[in-house]
Structure 1
């Protein structure tokens, strides 16, 4: 109930923000271009047998050596007359534990309500950097199964004070590719920005109006951002 009260309050703040918030996405696109030029990131397709840390088990399923992250398994479907064909087999990602998708928000006197976007590099991105949620991390990443750094901005989602949860809900992943996976979607409003401890180099603030404009541009805004803001 407390979260619903926060959501109702936040919707009112968004309505008040509309009159003063920036509308033009050009500054954000220019910042993204600058970030693309400043980073080093290269991805190329290789054979599955060459992938380090991954292997096939006795059934031919592909798994990570840690037993975490996702696996690639097979699924057999009997669909009756619901789909284009009555049955089929396909590979499918199995990662039942899901992850966290969070948008951090704030309100300023000059720009109104803003959402914190992460210029996230992923190997399959067109244009390398996609404007993504403030936090986009599987539980395997959060546990650092990769042996690398902790995902940024997690400290905000777990803060004991200085923030309020606007809403949270589990959203089903795309069921044609993932087996019964859902992600926890969260919007967090920051009352005290000192809770942000992560490096801000790959993050920028955007208004809801700018997000809507970015959604009209090819291959810039993550579909996860669109999903998270849909209840607003």
Structure 2
């Protein structure tokens, strides 16, 4: 099937799911609040000169000592009148040779209908630190497996197989005011038999589309990438 056929198929399953799926996110919100209290995670702003393993190169750009991840470089902008508020400016910008993957796994059960697997992911700039994010929210470097770091969970699900139906995959530009020509690959992956997955229930929770939509209306609960991944539905 073409991507549009897969999307239509999933939309039909979502329509059927409405008769049985959970709509109240209270249990998910309670679980997230407990995890926010229990997970040992903290972050604070420090001077850039004190950041370990990041260094200024001969051009004044900031790079990681390993050469991996993003860099902080400069960009000079010139614009025709009326396109932006001013005709030009200079600014720092994040550059990265590769983007990443934003993928939601989903399943269907007779009792709960269609559900998506959300990850409670901690990032230093988040309000509340832990927020519900896509199942896979990772750079390609982490998906392939960095030295001395574990490979991103569920990376083996990114390709179609007997158990994985790729609903769609498309590249979307990261925020251009902060990232230089970076794209992330957005994906929805339907799992035929979710019992084959090894799911850590201290990190991941299944949620219906109705529950996700309810949580999006709340402050600082659902990360922005979940919204971009489910948008085609």
Aligned residues: 232
Post-superposition CA distance 1:73-127 (Å, at most 9, x none): 0000001211101110000000141001000000111111101000000011100
Once the 2 structures are TM-superposed, how far is the Cα of residue 145 of structure 1 from its aligned partner?
3.2
Question: Structure 1 stretch 1-10 or stretch 53-62: which is displaced more?
Answer: 1-10
Structure 1: gaps of 5 or more residues:
none
Once residues 95 and 223 of structure 1 are traced to their aligned partners in structure 2, the CA distance between those partners, rounded to angstroms, is: 20
1:63 aligns with 2:94: no
Mapped partners of 2:46, 2:56: distance in 1: 16
Q: 2:76, 2:218 → 1: CA distance? A: 37
- In structure 2, the residue matched to 1:106 is 107
Residues 68-107 of structure 1 mapped to structure 2, 5 A cutoff: 68-81=68-81, 82-107=83-108
1:171 to 2:172 alignment: yes
Q: TM-score, normalised by structure 2?
A: 0.95
Change (3 A) 1:24 1:194: closer
Contact 2:115-2:206 at 8 Å conserved across structures: yes
Paired residues of 1:156 and 1:196 also in contact (CA < 8 A):
no
CA shift for structure 1 position 45: 1.1
Which deviates more, 146-155 or 5-14?
146-155
Bigger mean CA deviation after superposition, 143-152 or 43-52: 143-152
Distance 2:104 2:146 in 1: 23
Structure 1: distance between partners of 2:20 and 2:143: 37
Report the Cα offset of residue 18 of structure 1: 1.3
Alpha-carbon distance, 1:49 to partner: 1.4
**Does the Cα contact within 8 Å between 2:105 and 2:116 map onto a contact in 1?**
yes
- Tell me, yes or no, if structure 1 residue 22 matches structure 2 residue 35: no
Find out whether 1:128 has 2:129 as its counterpart. yes
1:219 alignment partner in structure 2: 220
Provide the rounded CA distance (Å) in 2 between the counterparts of 1:107 and 1:28: 18
Q: Which runs of 5+ in 2 are unaligned?
A: none
Distance 2:146 2:157 in 1: 21
Q: CA deviation at 1:5?
A: 1.9
| Residue number in structure 2 paired with 1:33 | 33
Aligned to 2:181: 180
Q: Partners in 2 of 1:162 and 1:98 — Cα distance? A: 26
Check whether the contact 2:76–2:89 (CA below 8 A) recurs between aligned residues: yes
1:218 alignment partner, SS class: coil
CA distance in 2: counterparts of 1:59 and 1:104, whole angstroms: 42
Structure 1 225/125 Cα, relative in aligned 2: closer, same or farther at 3 Å? Answer: same
Q: Pairwise CA RMSD of aligned residues?
A: 1.4
1:12 equivalent in structure 2: 12
Length-normalised TM-score, structure 1: 0.95
